[in-house]
Structure 1
Amino acid sequence: MKTNLANLMAALSMAGLLASLSPVVMASEPVEAAVIRVAAEGATTQDDHDALAKLYEDAATELQAKVAETKELLEHYEDKSYLYGRRAQDLQSHTHALIRNYEKSVRKNLQAAAMHRQIAGRLKENHASAEASMPEALSGL
Structure 2
Amino acid sequence: MNRTVYRRAPGPVPDSPQNLRLVDDRDDAALAVLMERAYAGTIDEHLGGNSDGAVEIAGWRQNAVPRASFVVLREGRIAAASLISLNDKDFWLAYVITHPEWKGHGLGTAVVAASLRALDAPVFAGVTDGNTPSERLLTTLGFTPVPR
TM-score range, shorter chain: under 0.3
Normalising by structure 1, report the TM-score.
Answer: 0.23
Larger strand fraction of residues: 2
Query: Which gives a bigger RCO, structure 1 or 2 (Cα 8 Å, sep 6+)?
Result: 2
Larger helix fraction of residues: 1
Q: Which has the larger radius of gyration?
A: 1
Normalising by structure 2, report the TM-score.
Answer: 0.22
